[in-house]
Structure formats: C-alpha cells, structure tokens
Amino acid sequence: MKKEEILARLQEIEKIKKKISTLNTPSLPVIPGGILINKTETEGNKPVTRVTKPAVPVNKSNFKKGISVIIPTYKGEKVILTCLESLHKQTLKQELFDVIIIMNGEKDSTESIINDFITKTKMNNITVLYSSTPSASSARNIGLQHAKREYTVFLDDDDYTSSNFLEEMFNYASPDTTVISQIVNVDQAGNVDPTNSINQQIINVEKKEHNDFMSLNMVATINACKLVPTSCLKPIQYDSGLKSGEDVVFFTELIAKNDLKFKVIPIDKQVIYYRVLRDNSVSRQIMTFDFYVTQRLAVIKRLDKLIGQTTNTQKQTFIKQKINAQSTFINRYLKENINDWEQVVEEIKKQNLSYMPYSIVNRGLANKLVISFCFPPYVDTSGNVMAKRIRNMNEIVDVVYNKMDKVRERDLKLNTLVEDVIDERFEIPSYPSFSNWKAIEAFCTLGIDKLGNTKTYKEIYSRAMWPGSHFLAYQYKLLNPKVKWSAEFSDPLLLDIHGQTRKANIENPDFLKKANKMAAKKYKIPPVSDSNLFFWCEYLPYLFADELIFTNENQLKYMLDSFPIKKVKNMIKKKAVISPQPTLPTEFYNSNKSNYSLEKDKVNIAYFGTFYQTRNLDDLFSGLENVTEELRKDVKLHIFTANPASLEEELKGSILAENVKINPYVNYNEFLNLTTSFDCLVVNDAKTKQSKAINPYLPSKLSDYIGSGTNIWGIYEENSILSGYELAYKSELGNIKQATGVFEQIVRDKKNKTVSV
C-alpha cells in the first residue's frame, strides 16, 4: 500500500473516532480554559436551558481515567477564588482531573476572576460553561452531561477541600463504590467545626470494614464530600423544579437505582471537604410556610414516588427515613404556627402520598388526651366510633388504648381514619377484659405510669363501651384536677340490653374507700357500699367528669332514671351534652374501592350487622316473602355478617334462597365504600319494649350510612330515636305489612329512576 493511501486511511479512522466520541456529548462549542455558551430557548418570557439525558445507555469504557469536579456558581465573585485555589493545590496530577464550572443566571465578575486564575495558574483542565437559568440543579445537570472522567465530585463555589482530597478519593475509588471524606463546617468568621453531626457519623463508622447507605444515611444524600462513579450519575438528573432539597432527591434516587458500597477514607489521612455555612443554608432559613411546608412537601412527593421504584425493603426504609427528616421541618413550623395546622394538613393531602409520617408532623402538638380502651388498628365498632369522634374534633390528640391482640383482629387500614390527627399513641400491654377488675386495674396502673412521663394535658376525653376507659380517666383526673374531663357513654353500662344489672366486683377495697372519700369531700355524698364495677363506671364520671356525652336524648333519660343514686341526677343534667355519633367526610368513602359485584338489573338492598335476640332480620325476611313472586325476582338482599354459614343453613331450601346473598364482614374502609353502591341500606332498632320503658339505643351504623348518600330504610321501634329520623323508607319493628310495602316502594322507585334516566 502506498504512503498516500495509508495517510488517507488513517485520516478516515480519525474521523470515525471523532464521530464516536461525540455520541454521548452535546454538540456545544468547547474552548479549553475558556468560556462555553450554552444555548437557551424561551418559555413565555423566561429563558430556559434545555438539558437532555444521553440518548444511548452509558458506556463505562467511554470515560477517561480520573475525576470530573463539577462546580455550579451563581454570582460567585466573592467566594470562588478560595475554591479554585484549593483545586490548584491538589496533589493529584492535573492530567487526572477536570474542573467543570457552570455559571448560571445573571452574570457578575466571576467569569473574569476564573479566566485570570486560569492564566495565572495555567490550569488548562478547567472548562467553564454558562446557562442563563439561575438554578444550581440545572447547572449540575449540565456539568454531568460534560463529565468525561470515571468518577465525579461535586463542589460548591464557596466550599474548598484539603490538598490531598482528590488524590485520596481517587486512590480509594472503584466502579461499585461511593467514597466518603470528612466534612468540616466553616462559619462566616472562618471557625471550623469538625464535630458536626454529619462528620460525627462519618468518624463513627470509619473503622467498619463495610458501610452502606443506612450507616451513612446523613452524608449519603448531600452533594458534598463524596466521589461517585460517573456511570451511575449520568442516568439521573437533579430536579430543577425543586427550590431546595434537590440533593436529597438526587442521591436517594441514586441509591434506589444502584447497589453501591460506601467507603470512608481513614480519618488519620485528614481528607477533608470544608463546607462554608451561609446565611441562606437550610439550617438558617427564616421560618416561612413556603420553605418549611410547601418546599418540603415537594421533596417528599418526589421521594414518595421512589418508594415504588425499588422492591428492596432496606432501600424503601431508607427513603422513608428521608421523608421523616423532611417532615421534621413541617413539625418545627407547626410548633411556632399551630393555627396553620389545618392548612398544612390540607396541603399534605393534596399530594396523595403513599407514605406520610403524621406522627412526626404532629409531634409534641397534642393538648388533649383521648382514652379509648379499644382503638384502631383493632377491629371493634367502639374503636371506630372513637376514631370518628377524634376526626370530628379536628385537632391533634394523643391516644391511650389497650393491646387487644388476644380478643380482636388488627386492620392497619383503620389507622387512616385518624393518622393525620394523632401525635402519640400509648398502647398499654394489659390483658383485655370488659369486666375483670384485675385486668382493668392493670390497664389503669400501666396507663398512669406511661402518661406520667409525658406532657400535661388541658383536656382528656374517655369513651366507654369498655369500662377501662373511664376508670383510667378518673385516675388521671385525680392526679391532674385542673384537666377538663369529658366522658362519653356509647350505651348504658349498668343495665344490659335486657334491662338486667351487669355485675362484676371491684376487688380492691382501698380503691372503693378512696372513691367514697372523694365523693364525700366534694359533694357530701354518703359512702356507697356497692362494689359493682359497672355501677362505678357510671358513678365516677357522673361525679368527677366536667362534661358527660350521650349519643341521644333517650339514652340520657334512661340512664338518669335507672341510676340508683338520685342525688346525682341534677348534676348529670348540668353536665350532659347530646352528641350523635359523627359521620366521616366523603373522602373516606372512596379511600378503599370495593370490587364487590352487583346485578344492575336488580334492586340491591344491603344489611350490615350481627344478629341476636333483640336485633334480627325477621322483618326483612317476612316482608320479602310477602311480596309477589314477580316483584321478588327484582330484589337482591345482600347481607354482611359475622357468621354467614349459620344464616346460609337457615335459608337453605326457602323461597328466599335465590334472593339473598350472604357475605362475611368486610373491613371498615371497604364497608364505607360499599355503602355507596347499593340502592338502599337497612338499619334496625333493637327490641326493647319488653324490658325497657324507653329505647336508649341508636345503631352506630346509621352515622356511617348517612355519609354514603344512599337511601336508608329504618326499621324502628315506637318512640325510639331512629323513629324520629327523616329517612327515605321507614317501617315499624314487627309490622310485616309495612315492611312488605317498603320493598314494593323501593322497587317502584328504582324502576321510575331508570325510566327517567
């Protein structure tokens, strides 16, 4: 081959090499040691720098040996010289590192300072880029696009490093490892602080052979003092839409999408990143709603998305820790601006987050203590009602309740009813019992011990179906006489559903003696010899509570008339407040979509509940049997109950077998959603005429039905509270003719509605 042909071939090869080298690099004019102008577009009236990710996967073999140092600078004329001088003093050979400075936003004299420095030091490994967008995030993204070395280090324009920083970082570098140096804070006066919390964590783990993002959780998500393989950084971008916390999101994503080891350089080598604390640093920000709430939620929103992008539970835990850290800012804001709590919660809910640590947001903010022996996540109607009460209070509370694993199932979804309004939960590990005094006494003793180490409350609120709630509240009131005690009765306690006295002894004479002494001292009431636990569970709140909550007027009258100590009747009346069980906001009816199927051509009627002697389905079944066979074909009765098997057996072979669909209970959140799906919901009174002069009960499910927007059929007892409610359909308990008529009316209404549509 002739010499000319060889030269021509070599020139062709060089052209091909140049084309290959530009595949991962934007086609922008680079002037080594000079200025590169980054092109911008306009969006509205604002200039916007467009930064795109590489179009092809990152190829590690394309990177040059050494380190790329990325420095964003915005009006850095007063600080950047110290940063540059520390790079000039590096012991690492200049041919092994590049410095990429990205000037962003409005210009000042920084450009000339850099050029003068390059001329003076002959540091021709410095490249300067310019973006008109005033954003450190965008600047770092541009820097990453131009990073050509194996490893990358981020350096802020007002920070600086020890002279051995890059050399030692490079010595410990490997393609699967993030290398960590020490980080020393420097204040405005030049005072250094090597004892800051981040550096202390670094020092504490330095001797460990293996470290990871969990052991270095603080340093893992800051820009400073770390060297990272460039191939891992290239596919990720800083979120320029964030005003702060973009480093947390960036490095959390890096951890979520890579399996990097972490190596701390031995402390005795004194490899140091000097971080200069500025007046506008995160720790020194003025407390504004924008920074402490809006910007923190923007970061949390990005982090929350990352949880679903990894199946690694340790990484998911790490991401949640980062969300927790951001949430502490919101908590600090609320401690100074508690009147903004509702606005803060509203902003949180707008984010539709899968994870939000309300316990951190609300930490230390509760002035009210709620005592509810059974409470979510335990599955129990009384616990759900108390959760609704708290929801209705619309303030942050602490809750003390009993550990109920032995008698109740747990459903963590129930926590969503109140998680945003609870500060602290105190779960008491006593044996759960409705009537055993020793178990209730243990609950009170352990509860007082637990609460004795916490704050003092302005109010306490106890709710009893479970007597333990009122006994603990009484004990707390004795220790804190100034606290306001509100005591709610879900139902009468002394007398049961049949009007018979419930009995269980208080096996502690000292307790009774002290209670009688307190009653005599405060109200001059003679001692009571009765040791019945259920008597005292009503009597103590009557005497010592500041407010008595009853769910309806009949309940108040019945408990007043049946209580044996007549002297307290006027006292009860003065303290009494009628407060029907609350209804949840509409949002809770859509939080857990049910896939339960309905026959759209049928009239779908639902009943939710357990059956017993005083409350059963006799009216429903008899009424449905009485309608014509043709009309019965149009009706589907859906029953959700605790024991579906026995009911299925009872209906087997009957004329209603095809009309009744029997189901087990669904969880409460799904139940709420289900109530919105039917044509009608049935609620029935308990039968009390044979045992009580007045019906004191109002079914708790009525309050849930009311929020569903679905028509309600009330099967009421004469003069009951249910009988006075304005409902779409009503029939009197035991009146089968009326029940039959309601079935006929519901079918007619459905057909008329279908025709009108």
pLDDT band at 48 (very low <50, low <70, confident <90, very high): very low
Residue with the two structure tokens 């010499």: 3
Q: Where does the pLDDT of residue 280 fall: very low under 50, low under 70, confident under 90, or very high at 90 and above?
A: low
CA angle (49 as vertex; 48, 55 as ends), nearest 5: 135
C-alpha distance from residue 702 to each of 59, 513, 713 (Å): 65, 42, 10
Range among 36-45, 60-69, 509-518 rated most confident: 509-518
pLDDT of residue 54: 40
Nearest-Å Rg of the Cα atoms of the chain is 36
pLDDT exceeds 90 at position 79: yes
DSSP 217: T
The pLDDT of residue 754 is 64
Q: What is the per-residue pLDDT across 379-399, written as a single tens digit (0 to 9) for each?
A: 999 999 999 999 999 999 999
**pLDDT over 60 at 221, yes or no:** yes
**What are phi and psi for residue 730, nearest 5 degrees?**
-145, 145
Question: Residue 648 pLDDT more than 70?
Answer: yes
Share of residues in the chain with pLDDT > 70 (%): 90
Average pLDDT over residues 506-518: 96
699: preceding bond cis by omega (within 30 degrees): no
- The answer, yes or no, to whether residue 501 has pLDDT greater than 80, is yes
109-132: average pLDDT: 95
Tens digits of residue pLDDT in 591-615: 889 999 999 999 999 999 987 767 8
Q: Which is nearest to 61 in space by CA: 150, 158, 190, 121?
A: 150
Nearest to 632 by CA among 505, 747, 503, 738: 747
The percentage of residues in the chain with a pLDDT greater than 90, rounded to a whole number, is 83
| CA–CA dist 337, 330 (Å, integer) | 10
Q: Is the pLDDT of residue 349 over 60?
A: yes
CA-CA-CA-CA torsion for 647, 653, 654, 660, nearest 10 degrees? 50
3-state helix, strand, coil in the chain (%, to 5): 40, 20, 40
Query: Which position has the higher pLDDT, 42 or 293?
Result: 293
Q: Is the pLDDT of residue 720 over 70?
A: yes
Sign, CA dihedral 217-218-220-225, equals negative
Q: Is residue 254 pLDDT above 70, yes or no?
A: yes
Q: Average pLDDT in the 501-529 region?
A: 95
- Cα–Cα distance measured from residue 145 to residue 377, given in angstroms and rounded to the nearest whole number: 50
Q: How far apart are CA 229 and CA 712, in angstroms?
A: 65
Model confidence at 670: pLDDT above 90: yes
In this predicted structure, what is the pLDDT of residue 305?
97
Residue 35 confidence (pLDDT): 40
Q: Lowest-pLDDT range, 36-40, 539-543, 577-581?
A: 36-40
pLDDT computed for residue 41 by the predictor:
37
The pLDDT assigned to 34 comes to 37
Q: Indicate the burial class of 709 (C-beta count within 10 angstroms; 0-12, 13-18, 19 or more).
A: exposed
Model confidence at 333: pLDDT above 70: yes
Q: Give the mean model confidence (pLDDT) for residues 305-318.
A: 96
Identify whether the C-beta of residue 368 lies closer than 8 Å to the C-beta of residue 421: no
Q: Could you report how far apart the first and last alpha carbons of the chain are, in Å? A: 90
- Res 281: pLDDT: 53
Please, what's the largest Cα pairwise distance for the chain? 127
Crossing angle (nearest 10°) for helices 313-336 and 295-307: 160
pLDDT single digits (tens) 428-480: 999 999 999 999 999 999 999 999 867 889 999 999 999 999 999 999 999 99
The model's pTM? 0.84
Could you tell me which of 412, 405, 348 has the C-alpha nearest to residue 592?
412
- What's the CA gap between 94 and 156, in Å, rounded? 20
Compute the average pLDDT of residues 539-564.
97
Residue 208 has a pLDDT of: 86
At 623, which amino acid appears?
A: G
User: How many residues would you count in the chain?
Assistant: 757
* Closest-CA residue to 398 (of 458, 438, 449, 343): 458
**pLDDT score of 284:** 59
Q: Is the pLDDT of residue 663 over 90?
A: yes
Sign, CA torsion 371/375/377/378: positive
Q: What is the pLDDT of residue 753?
A: 80
Nearest to 370 by CA among 397, 396, 395, 392: 397
How do residues 32-45 score in pLDDT, each as one tens digit? 333 444 333 333 44
Mean pLDDT of 683-707: 95
- Buried/exposed code over 608-627 (b: 16+ C-beta within 10 A; e: otherwise): bbebeeebebbbbbbbbbbb
CB 675 within 8 A of CB 708: yes
524 dihedral zone (left: phi>0; alpha: psi -120 to 50; beta):
left
The mean pLDDT of 212-235, rounded to a whole number, is: 96
**Rounded to 10 degrees, what is the CA torsion of 90, 94, 100, 101?**
50
Cis amide bond preceding 377, omega within 30: yes
What is the average pLDDT across 623-649? Answer: 94
CA dihedral 248, 251, 252, 253 (to 10 degrees): 120
Q: What is the structure's pLDDT at 92?
A: 98
* pLDDT value of position 47: 39
- pLDDT over 80 at 128, yes or no: yes
pLDDT above 60 (res 368)? yes
- Provide mean pLDDT across the span 285-291: 90
Instruction: Read off the pLDDT of each residue in 136-161 and give the average, rounded to a whole number.
Output: 97
How far is it, in rounded angstroms, from Cα 244 to Cα 531?
A: 64
pLDDT in the model for residue 51: 40
Q: Cβ(189)–Cβ(277) under 8 Å? A: no
Q: Fill in the DSSP letter of residue 289.
A: H
- pLDDT-derived band at 200 (thresholds 50, 70, 90) equals very high
pLDDT > 70? residue 17: no
pLDDT averaged over every residue in the chain: 90
For residue 55, pLDDT over 70 is answered with no
Give the β-pairing of 177-180 and 711-716: unpaired
Q: How confident is the model over 643-647, as a mean pLDDT?
A: 89
| Distance between CA atoms of residues 509 and 529, nearest Å | 10
Q: Which position has the higher pLDDT, 514 or 3? A: 514
Amino acid at 68: S
Mean pLDDT of 221-241: 97
What are the tens digits of pLDDT across the range 150-190?
Answer: 999 999 999 999 999 999 999 999 999 999 999 999 998 88
> What confidence score (pLDDT) does residue 361 get?
97
Give the SS3 label for residue 305. helix
DSSP-assigned states of every residue in 134-189 = --HHHHHHHHHHH--EEEEEE--TT-EE-TTHHHHHHHT--TTEEEE-EEEEE-TT
Residue 683 contacts residue 702 (beta carbons within 8 Å): yes
State the DSSP code for 43. Answer: E
| Distance from C-alpha of 746 to C-alpha of 741, rounded to nearest angstrom | 9
Strand-strand pairing, 160-161 and 397-402:
unpaired
The reported pLDDT for the residue numbered 636 is 97
CA–CA separation, 730 and 525 (whole Å): 46
